[in-house]
Amino acid sequence: MSELAAYHEEEALGRISDWRPILRLSRYLRPYRGRVALAVVLLLVHSSFQIVQPIFYKLAIDLYLAPTTGEPERLAWLAAWLPADPELGLSWLALAFGALVLLGFAIGYGQALVMLMTGQYVMYDLRREIFGHLQRLHIGFFDRNPVGRLVTRVTSDVDTLNELFTAGVTALFGDFIVLLGIVGVLFYVNWRLALLTLAVLPLIGLVTILFRNYARAAFRRTRAAIARINAFLNEHLSGMSVVQLFNRERHAATRFDAINEENRQAWRDAILAHALFYPAVEVLSVLAIAGIIVYGGFQVQAGAAQLGTVVMFLMYARRFFYPIQDLSEKYTILQQAIASAERVFKLLDTEPAIVSPARPQPLASNAGRVEFRNVWFAYKGEGWVLQDVSFAAEPGELCALVGHTGAGKTTVINLLLRFYDI
């Protein structure tokens, strides 16, 4: 396969069409479903702790720091659990908040440790399966596939899938729980401020769609460029003696510069997408926060809301938009994982062209006899290397294959060992 053909195959594999490769990865989690279940439970608890933290600030402000009279709050029932004395109440809140933070740290540490170790086990199993499959493939497969590309499958593509397990899906699920919990608390406390806080979501959705489309195209190009660089380096470094023998260093450097430039251009476009997405979401989130300050301030002056409620909404707004800002990174991880999974499973689904028989026949008594009878063979198409070749070598007979370079001497030995089928 030519280098250009290999490049286009890599580019085609990078097309993100569905999530079936990711769903197929789930079978590698089955042996560790107990660990995964524990990680999910810890993640739910850790996310719940993040959701309730701003409520402590509201209680401290509305009950002790700046108590105000106004419309009864939906969280007023929590005041019944706290003492009326400000010093004692603030002490209780501070101790409870500190304990919550420390417990959240311990749970977050445990969840990350369990998920990271599970990801390493899964990657160990996947790499072992890929390497075992490579050893079963016929020699002709390695003639058509550069070694650099196969090394990419076992190394960087598997590492990308590991990042999906440990940082992509886990973080995305945790962010979803946090966002859902924040929305529920906001609407429970003050639905008017909640609607104002979420008013910019349609614009954020539009920015996200634009980013997704642009980043997807840029990412396909980066994956193709990386695979092409690996294949080029492997070919030229392993064949450096040939490059130097024929004085092709300048030509090889020119070709590598072109491939390297394609990689740089692809990454430039991907970086540009990230650089535009983060500030855009930041501007929209600031608009939402400004609306909370203005409208919430008027509500506090009119006695329709308490100061602690506005402060709590401001904190929730920041927590709400942080995961959305990180969406670009998580989306990139998902895109990388889908493309890598497609490549890995395409390799695993490659059937060997030469398979040993289920019931091999024992060799006859004259096993030392070798005979080629009207053998035709071509590595590709009808570019015949051997044409109607016949000869026999008897046991104990000394034979020699003589011919110019490319005459087919090595091919005869390859066929004898059944590296290829006639």
- Give the whole-angstrom CA distance, residue 190 versus residue 192: 6
- Give the whole-angstrom CA distance, residue 10 versus residue 339: 10
Structure tokens at 37: 């279940």
Rounded alpha-carbon distances, angstroms, from residue 352 to 133, 134, 136, 337, 347 = 9, 9, 7, 26, 11
User: Whose CA is closest to 51, among 181, 173, 175, 172?
Assistant: 181
Confidence (pLDDT) at 328: 62
Which amino acid is present at 292?
Answer: I
Confidence (pLDDT) at 3: 45
- Give the whole-angstrom CA distance, residue 412 versus residue 422: 10
Q: Is-contact 62 22, C-beta < 8 A?
A: no
CA atoms in the 13 A half-sphere facing the CB of 42: 21
Contacts of 76 (CB under 8 A, 6+ apart): none
- Give the whole-angstrom CA distance, residue 171 versus residue 319: 14
Confidence (pLDDT) at 1: 41
- Give the whole-angstrom CA distance, residue 37 versus residue 32: 9
The residue with tokens 């491939």 is 259
The residue with tokens 């130097």 is 244
Confidence (pLDDT) at 376: 92
Query: pTM value?
Result: 0.71
Kindly list the averaged pLDDT for each block of 10 residues, start to end, along the chain of length 422.
45 53 84 90 90 90 77 68 86 93 94 89 92 89 82 85 76 84 89 88 83 73 79 84 88 91 85 81 88 89 84 89 73 77 88 79 74 89 87 87 86 88 82
SS3 113: helix
Contacts of 232 (CB under 8 A, 6+ apart): 3, 148, 255, 256, 259
SS3 366: coil
Q: Is-contact 19 338, C-beta < 8 A?
A: yes
User: Whose CA is closest to 30, among 121, 102, 137?
Assistant: 121
The residue with tokens 């980066």 is 222
Confidence (pLDDT) at 18: 58
Structure tokens at 239: 């064949």
Q: Is-contact 207 327, C-beta < 8 A?
A: no
- Give the whole-angstrom CA distance, residue 162 versus residue 168: 9
Structure tokens at 88: 């004692």
With left for phi above 0 and alpha for psi between -120 and 50, is residue 376 left, alpha or beta? beta
Specify the DSSP class assigned to residue 29. Answer: G
SS (H, E, C) 37-67: HHHHHHHHHHHHHHHHHHHHHHHHHHHHHCC
Confidence (pLDDT) at 8: 44
